[in-house]
């Protein structure tokens, strides 16, 4: 090989190495990758996004991130252990002792019978574990959570955001609001700011923080979807709940619902879930409900509520029209319990409470809240609408009994069939007959009661839509007595659905008002 050929070969080798080096250097920028099996993939040049994000959007994103950063340390995981005792009986010979036959067969004599002692009850202990969330509300270790998270727990372990663990102690519980306070032996803790749930609006941003499925410090964001006045959840009645589409799952219970300012506006309580997971319908107890009872929970361990001793129902347009009110407001006394504060003060069934201790009563719920928040033995004044005018009464509130009979909303099942009478009339899908003493006895109604009894009711009729039932005794319609069929015909001939119809009904001894109106 001559010198020229050697130089040419060297140049070619150098060029090859140069090209390999350049390719290796620039390959990263032109998208060369290798797959798991070593094959080189060319994905093309990377494209840098050129998207102009409005500053308002970036500010909103920063607000969520900052709120989460500041509030996460105030949220804790609550793990509970409950010991359940189950009775069991040791295995016994159900057909006698097998040694009895042994004596019979081999010794030709029965074994002496001994009276067997009664077996003692024995129990198996089984541990059940649960998990939930809570929010620190004071720097010295008080934590707000749901009552159903810690109810019945024998052991409570609280895990902070920095993974420190403490044993929790139950300080106070309130089943009615499903709220509870526990305490841990720690100081200088970050505490959440409690906001004002009365100021929230549908469409406001909301953030839920908790431990869904045990996954601690989980943050979800949504909006306030609605405000629900009344909900029945697992057999318990909840009032004034906040509905949100921020994802809430099992384990979120007891954690805070937060507004975009970082203020706690509710305590996550329940979800609607046909699948077991979040479907965007979650409910939180308003924080103002908690603020109203925190002092009692911490100081007394329970909540003492005021009691008026009445059953109430809503004032709708029909009631307002027939009772002479200018607008549908207040709470109609459906019944006044005997020897209760209301009865002692002179309140009567049919009164409409429009003001309680100087505060206007907008509806049933506002009266319930005002009475419940009043300390027992406190003297208050109640303004009612009676006989087309206002009247003022003074009364002393009592403590709400632990067990209350004849609660509003209780239903009664029919007891026996109603006997026949000679004359009947039909109207709006119901057929009535004059109440007799025999009928009253069958319906558990006082013999002094007067009215007409419903003996037939057409399904899907106007009468059924008003809530009337067979065997109801109609005492009056639009405040006009209907003690006979003749009176019933006279009153119904002038009753107009457009103006609303109010029925005064005795249902197996229970007095209730029912209404219907078609606009």
Q: Write out pLDDT tens, residues 278-295.
A: 788 899 999 999 998 999
Where does the pLDDT of residue 182 fall: very low under 50, low under 70, confident under 90, or very high at 90 and above?
very high
Q: Kindly report the CATH number assigned to the domain that includes residue 439.
A: 2.30.42.10
355 with 393: CB under 8 angstroms?
no
Where does the pLDDT of residue 4 fall: very low under 50, low under 70, confident under 90, or very high at 90 and above?
low
pLDDT of residue 460: 87
pLDDT at 32 over 50: no
Where does the pLDDT of residue 501 fall: very low under 50, low under 70, confident under 90, or very high at 90 and above?
very high
State whether 389 and 469 are in the same domain.
Answer: no
pLDDT of residue 101: 53
State whether 267 and 365 are in the same domain.
Answer: no
Helix (H, G, I), strand (E, B) or coil at 19: helix
First to last CA, the chain: 112
What φ, ψ does residue 125 adopt, rounded to 5°?
-100, 130
Name the token pair of 180: 């509870």
* Residue 453: domain span: 424-516
CA distance 29 to 44: 9
pLDDT of residue 503: 93
pLDDT of residue 69: 92
Residue after which a domain boundary falls, among 256, 283, 300: 300
State whether 208 and 265 are in the same domain.
Answer: yes
pLDDT at 482 over 70: yes
Answer yes or no: is 380 within a domain.
Answer: yes
pLDDT of residue 297: 95
Answer yes or no: is 187 within a domain.
Answer: no
Q: What is the mean pLDDT of residues 34-46?
A: 60
pLDDT at 409 over 90: no
Give one word for 214, left, alpha or beta, with left for phi > 0 and alpha for psi -120 to 50.
Answer: left
pLDDT of residue 88: 61
CA distance 174 to 303: 6
Answer yes or no: is 212 within a domain.
Answer: yes
pLDDT of residue 420: 38
Virtual torsion, Cα 432, 491, 350, 470, nearest 10 deg? 10
361 with 331: CB under 8 angstroms?
yes
Q: Kindly report the CATH number assigned to the domain that includes residue 226.
A: 2.40.10.10
Cβ partners under 8 Å of residue 375, min gap 6 = 304, 306, 397
Quote the DSSP letter at residue 246: S
CA distance 519 to 517: 7
Q: What is the mean pLDDT of residues 360-369?
A: 90
Where does the pLDDT of residue 38 fall: very low under 50, low under 70, confident under 90, or very high at 90 and above?
low
Shortest CA distance to 428 belongs to which of 497, 480, 478, 499?
497
State whether 441 and 368 are in the same domain.
Answer: no
Answer yes or no: is 383 within a domain.
Answer: yes
Could you tell me whether strands 263-271 and 193-194 are parallel, antiparallel, or unpaired per DSSP bridges? parallel
Q: What is the mean pLDDT of residues 405-415?
A: 35
180 with 146: CB under 8 angstroms?
yes
pLDDT exceeding 70 applies to what percent of the chain? Answer: 79
Residue after which a domain boundary falls, among 264, 281, 300: 300
Answer yes or no: is 456 within a domain.
Answer: yes
Q: What is the mean pLDDT of residues 12-40?
A: 53
Return the bridge partners of 220, or none. Answer: 208
Answer yes or no: is 483 within a domain.
Answer: yes
Residue after which a domain boundary falls, among 271, 300, 329: 300
pLDDT of residue 327: 92
pLDDT of residue 426: 77
Where does the pLDDT of residue 141 fall: very low under 50, low under 70, confident under 90, or very high at 90 and above?
very high
Using one digit for the tens of pLDDT, what is the confidence trace for 213-227?
Answer: 888 889 999 999 999
CA angle 231, 336, 500 (to 5 degrees): 65
Helix (H, G, I), strand (E, B) or coil at 27: helix
State whether 443 and 503 are in the same domain.
Answer: yes
Cα dihedral across residues 274, 277, 283, 285: positive or negative = positive
pLDDT at 308 over 80: yes
Answer yes or no: is 34 within a domain.
Answer: no
48-52, 183-187, 438-442, 490-494: range with highest mean pLDDT: 183-187
CA of 403: how far to CAs of 312, 334, 406, 407, in Å?
18, 19, 10, 10
CA distance 495 to 498: 9
Pick 257 or 373 by higher pLDDT.
Answer: 257
Cβ partners under 8 Å of residue 490, min gap 6 = none
pLDDT at 473 over 50: yes
State whether 347 and 440 are in the same domain.
Answer: no
State whether 387 and 466 are in the same domain.
Answer: no
State whether 290 and 318 are in the same domain.
Answer: no
- Where is average pLDDT lowest: 51-60, 73-82, 106-115, 202-211? 106-115
State whether 294 and 322 are in the same domain.
Answer: no
Q: What is the mean pLDDT of residues 492-514?
A: 90
Pick 147 or 105 by higher pLDDT.
Answer: 147
Shortest CA distance to 254 belongs to which of 173, 343, 341, 369?
173
Longest dimension (CA), the chain: 139
State whether 252 and 349 are in the same domain.
Answer: no
Answer yes or no: is 440 within a domain.
Answer: yes
Shortest CA distance to 251 belongs to which of 158, 162, 157, 130?
130
pLDDT at 36 over 70: no
pLDDT of residue 96: 45
pLDDT at 352 over 60: yes
Q: Any idea which residues carry the catalytic annotation?
A: 148, 178, 253
pLDDT of residue 444: 83
> Across all residues in the chain, what is the average pLDDT?
83
A 10 A CB-CB count for 435 gives 24
State whether 235 and 267 are in the same domain.
Answer: yes
What does 421-446 look like in DSSP terms, one character per residue? -S-EEEETTEEEEE--HHHHHHTT--
209 with 217: CB under 8 angstroms?
yes
Quote the DSSP letter at residue 75: E
Pick 504 or 91 by higher pLDDT.
Answer: 504
pLDDT of residue 87: 67
pLDDT at 60 over 50: yes
pLDDT at 421 over 70: no
Domain count, the chain: 3
CB-based contacts of 64-71 (< 8 A; 24+ apart in sequence): 64/207, 64/221, 64/260, 66/262, 67/207, 67/258, 67/260, 67/261, 67/262, 68/207, 68/209, 68/219, 70/262, 71/192, 71/207, 71/209, 71/256, 71/258, 71/262
pLDDT exceeding 90 applies to what percent of the chain? Answer: 49
State whether 227 and 197 are in the same domain.
Answer: yes
Pick 474 or 120 by higher pLDDT.
Answer: 474
């Amino acid at each position: 090989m001559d010198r020229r050929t050697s130089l040419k070969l060297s140049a070619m080798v150098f060029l090859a190495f140069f090209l390999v080096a350049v390719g290796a250097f620039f390959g990263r920028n032109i998208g060369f990758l290798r797959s798991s099996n070593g094959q080189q993939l060319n994905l093309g040049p990377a494209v840098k996004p050129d998207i102009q994000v409005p500053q308002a959007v970036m500010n909103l994103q920063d607000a969520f991130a900052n709120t989460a950063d500041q509030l996460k340390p105030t949220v804790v995981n609550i793990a509970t252990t409950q010991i359940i005792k189950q009775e069991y009986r040791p295995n016994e010979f159900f057909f006698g002792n097998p040694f009895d036959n042994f004596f019979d067969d081999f010794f030709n004599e029965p074994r002496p019978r001994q009276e067997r002692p009664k077996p003692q009850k024995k129990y198996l202990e089984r541990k059940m574990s649960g998990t939930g969330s809570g929010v620190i509300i004071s720097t010295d270790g008080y934590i707000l959570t749901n009552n159903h998270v810690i109810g019945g727990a024998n052991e409570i372990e609280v895990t902070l955001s920095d993974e420190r663990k403490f044993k929790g102690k139950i300080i106070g519980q309130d089943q009615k609001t499903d709220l509870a306070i526990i305490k841990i032996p720690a100081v200088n803790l970050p505490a959440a700011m409690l906001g004002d749930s009365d100021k929230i609006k549908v469409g406001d941003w909301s953030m839920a923080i908790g431990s869904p499925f045990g996954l601690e410090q989980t943050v979800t964001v949504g909006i306030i979807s609605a405000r629900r006045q009344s909900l029945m959840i697992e057999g318990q009645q909840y009032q004034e709940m906040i509905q949100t589409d921020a994802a809430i799952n099992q384990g979120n219970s007891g954690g805070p619902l937060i507004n975009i300012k970082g203020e706690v506006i509710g305590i996550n309580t329940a979800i609607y879930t046909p699948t077991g997971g979040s479907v965007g319908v979650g409910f939180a107890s308003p924080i103002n409900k908690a603020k109203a009872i925190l002092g009692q929970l911490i100081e007394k361990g329970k909540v003492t509520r005021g009691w008026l001793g009445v059953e109430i129902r809503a004032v709708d347009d029909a009631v307002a029209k027939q009772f002479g009110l200018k607008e549908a407001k207040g709470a109609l006394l459906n019944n006044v319990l005997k020897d209760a504060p209301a009865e002692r003060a002179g309140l009567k069934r049919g009164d409409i409470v429009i003001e309680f201790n100087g505060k206007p009563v907008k509806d049933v719920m506002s009266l319930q809240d005002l009475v419940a928040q009043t300390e027992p033995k406190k003297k208050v004044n109640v303004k009612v609408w009676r006989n087309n005018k206002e009247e003022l009464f003074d009364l002393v509130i009592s403590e709400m009994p632990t067990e209350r009979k004849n609660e509003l909303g209780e239903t009664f099942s029919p007891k026996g069939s109603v006997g026949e009478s000679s004359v009947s009339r039909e109207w709006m899908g119901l057929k009535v007959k004059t109440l007799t003493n025999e009928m009253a006895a069958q319906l558990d109604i006082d013999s002094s009661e007067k009215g007409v009894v419903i003996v037939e009711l057409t399904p899907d009729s106007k009468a059924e839509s008003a809530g009337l039932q067979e065997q109801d005794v109609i005492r009056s319609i639009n405040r006009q007595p209907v003690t006979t069929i003749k009176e019933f015909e006279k009153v119904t001939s002038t009753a107009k659905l457009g103006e609303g119809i109010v029925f005064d009904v005795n249902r197996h001894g229970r007095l209730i008002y029912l209404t219907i109106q078609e606009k």
